[in-house]
């Protein structure tokens, strides 16, 4: 009997140690390529921060005429927001111990930055809008639900994705369903759709058209003629018409079809403010590597040009006037590249990934008004 107990205790220690190892290496993922990278990091003994940087680059990149901003991991549990002054090459960061930030987005005029925030040990997530001139900020929303991909659409209004937990048999599960919401200072958020997506992010607005990436719910990523889902091209990019004055979606369909369909897998759309250009990430189905190149086209899908990735991965694109910017991740640095309308590279800025660099750049102190809606 004593021998059996020793074996059981040893087995428990082995399993517990294995579970701890997996927990420390495996990073949460919501898309095929994010899960692929997490699995690769797990099986190759890669630095966990390397996998976090890969996942983080997908979580938010934005640019204005003066600044670029993106989220970066500063620890195994926290993200900060790095801001780069494009002309002066100066770096700053919004970060704090016990705090994490994600999904930054500049307004079209570059005067405001919206982002999501949470504190360690707190269930609530916050949606915040800041004036770039003095970093005086307004808390727009505090919610126990998941806040993703906010977009400032003007007049103080912010469009965003909100994920509600799924209730099964009277119990709250860990799964969520996402839909579009809109909020403004001093106003309760309004739910705009009922598509119940499994994920909803990369929201981008050009004039009266919303482009976004979504999975599941009332959406279809394959063409109707697809006979073998494993061999067919797919697109997680969809679009809807937005009535900015009435804060509503115009004529939403019962089921969504992809807004653009080209060879391979297409994700992460970004539309220019005037609605004339669309950038998105695309990968071939030929190899299971998920190296996504940047594709750029007119909003109607033609003509299509490619910016090939040379590092580990690209962020979504960001339009600032006539310029298209993208953040590329390498082993030791991020590279922000700017392209003109003909996709000629006109500028690039390298940003080190090292914690030493991130810990020594200027820290921006944001001042947040406590007023805001609770949902």
- 3-state SS assignment for residue 142: strand
- 3-state SS assignment for residue 25: helix
Q: Which of 2-16, 153-167, 227-241 is predicted with the least confidence, judged by mean pLDDT? A: 2-16
Distance separating alpha carbons of residues 289 and 231, to the nearest angstrom: 15
Question: Could you tell me what percent of the chain has a pLDDT over 90?
Answer: 64
Q: Which of 136-145, 171-180, 298-307, 355-364 is predicted with the least confidence, judged by mean pLDDT? A: 298-307
Per-residue pLDDT for 361 more than 80?
yes
Sign for the CA dihedral angle at 297, 298, 299, 300 comes to negative
Distance separating alpha carbons of residues 228 and 247, to the nearest angstrom: 39
> Nearest CA to 81 among 61, 97, 64?
61
Residue 166 confidence class, pLDDT cut points 50, 70, 90 = confident
Residue 112 confidence class, pLDDT cut points 50, 70, 90 = very high
Distance separating alpha carbons of residues 351 and 17, to the nearest angstrom: 36
Q: What is the pLDDT of residue 17?
A: 43
Phi, psi of 327 (to 5 degrees): -105, 125
Phi, psi of 274 (to 5 degrees): -85, 0
Q: What is the pLDDT of residue 77?
A: 84
Q: What is the pLDDT of residue 19?
A: 40
Q: Which of 9-23, 171-185, 274-288 is predicted with the least confidence, judged by mean pLDDT? A: 9-23
The domain ranges of the chain are 28-370
Q: Which of 5-14, 52-61, 288-297 is predicted with the least confidence, judged by mean pLDDT? A: 5-14
**In this structure, are residues 203 and 181 in contact, taking their beta carbons and an 8 Å threshold?**
no
Residue 359 confidence class, pLDDT cut points 50, 70, 90 = confident
**In this structure, are residues 167 and 177 in contact, taking their beta carbons and an 8 Å threshold?**
no
Domain 28-370 in this protein, CATH class: mainly beta
Per-residue pLDDT for 50 more than 90?
no
Per-residue pLDDT for 16 more than 70?
no
Question: Could you tell me what percent of the chain has a pLDDT over 70?
Answer: 83
Distance separating alpha carbons of residues 236 and 221, to the nearest angstrom: 5
**In this structure, are residues 285 and 231 in contact, taking their beta carbons and an 8 Å threshold?**
yes
**In this structure, are residues 371 and 185 in contact, taking their beta carbons and an 8 Å threshold?**
yes
Per-residue pLDDT for 343 more than 90?
yes
pLDDT in tens, 292-302: 999 999 866 66
**Strand-strand pairing, 265-271 and 313-314:** unpaired
Half-sphere exposure of 334 (CA within 13 A, CB side): 28
Cα–Cα distances in Å, from 305 out to 220, 264, 290, 296, 302?
25, 15, 19, 5, 9
Task: Report whether the peptide linkage leading into residue 103 is cis, meaning its omega lies within 30 degrees of zero.
Answer: no
Distance separating alpha carbons of residues 34 and 183, to the nearest angstrom: 29
**Strand-strand pairing, 265-271 and 277-283:** antiparallel
pTM of the model: 0.85
Q: What average pLDDT is seen over the chain?
A: 85
Q: What is the pLDDT of residue 275?
A: 93
Q: What is the mean pLDDT of residues 57-73?
A: 93
Q: What is the pLDDT of residue 226?
A: 76
Sign for the CA dihedral angle at 184, 110, 146, 217 comes to positive
> Nearest CA to 127 among 100, 97, 153, 158?
158
C-alpha gyration radius of the chain? 21
Q: What is the pLDDT of residue 28?
A: 44
Angle between helices 2-25 and 32-43 (to 10 degrees): 130
Per-residue pLDDT for 200 more than 90?
yes
Give the residue with greater pLDDT, 18 vs 252: 252
Per-residue pLDDT for 21 more than 50?
no
Q: Is residue 368 left, alpha or beta, with left meaning phi > 0 and alpha meaning psi from -120 to 50?
A: beta
Distance separating alpha carbons of residues 234 and 254, to the nearest angstrom: 20
Per-residue pLDDT for 5 more than 80?
no
Residue 8 confidence class, pLDDT cut points 50, 70, 90 = very low
Per-residue pLDDT for 120 more than 90?
no
Burial of 224 (0-12, 13-18, 19+ CB in 10 A): exposed
**In this structure, are residues 292 and 267 in contact, taking their beta carbons and an 8 Å threshold?**
yes
């Amino acid at each position: 009997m004593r021998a059996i107990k020793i074996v059981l205790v040893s087995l428990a220690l082995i399993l517990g140690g294995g579970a701890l190892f997996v927990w420390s290496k495996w990073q949460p993922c919501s898309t095929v390529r994010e899960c692929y990278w997490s699995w690769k990091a797990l099986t190759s003994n890669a630095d966990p921060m390397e996998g976090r940087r890969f996942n983080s680059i997908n979580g938010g990149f934005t640019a204005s005429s003066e600044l670029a901003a993106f989220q970066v991991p500063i620890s195994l549990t926290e993200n900060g927001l790095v801001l780069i002054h494009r002309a002066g090459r100066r770096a700053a960061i919004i970060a704090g111990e016990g705090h994490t930030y994600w999904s930054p987005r500049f307004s079209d005029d570059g005067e405001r930055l919206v982002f999501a925030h949470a504190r360690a040990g707190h269930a609530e997530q916050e949606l915040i809008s800041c004036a770039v001139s003095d970093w005086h900020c307004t808390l727009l929303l505090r919610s126990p639900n998941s806040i993703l991909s906010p977009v400032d659409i003007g007049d103080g209004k912010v469009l965003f994705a909100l994920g509600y937990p799924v209730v099964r048999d009277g119990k709250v599960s860990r799964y969520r369903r996402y839909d579009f919401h809109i909020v403004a200072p001093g106003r309760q958020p309004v739910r705009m759709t009922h598509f119940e997506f499994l994920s909803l992010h990369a929201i981008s607005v050009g004039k009266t058209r919303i482009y976004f990436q979504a999975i599941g719910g009332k959406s279809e990523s394959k063409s109707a003629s697809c006979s073998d889902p494993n061999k067919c091209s797919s697109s997680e990019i969809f679009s809807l018409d937005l009535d900015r004055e009435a804060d509503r979606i115009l004529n939403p369909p019962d089921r969504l079809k992809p807004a653009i369909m080209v060879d391979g897998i297409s994700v992460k759309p970004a539309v220019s403010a005037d609605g004339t250009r669309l950038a998105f990430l695309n990968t071939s189905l030929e190899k299971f590597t998920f190296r996504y190149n940047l594709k750029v086209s007119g909003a109607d899908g033609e003509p299509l040009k490619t910016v090939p990735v040379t590092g580990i991965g690209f962020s979504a694109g960001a339009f600032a006037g006539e310029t298209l910017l993208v953040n590329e991740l390498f082993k030791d640095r991020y590279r922000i590249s700017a392209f003109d309308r003909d996709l000629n590279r006109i500028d690039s800025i390298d940003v080190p990934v090292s914690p030493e660099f991130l810990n020594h750049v200027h820290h921006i102190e944001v001042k947040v008004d406590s007023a805001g809606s609770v949902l």
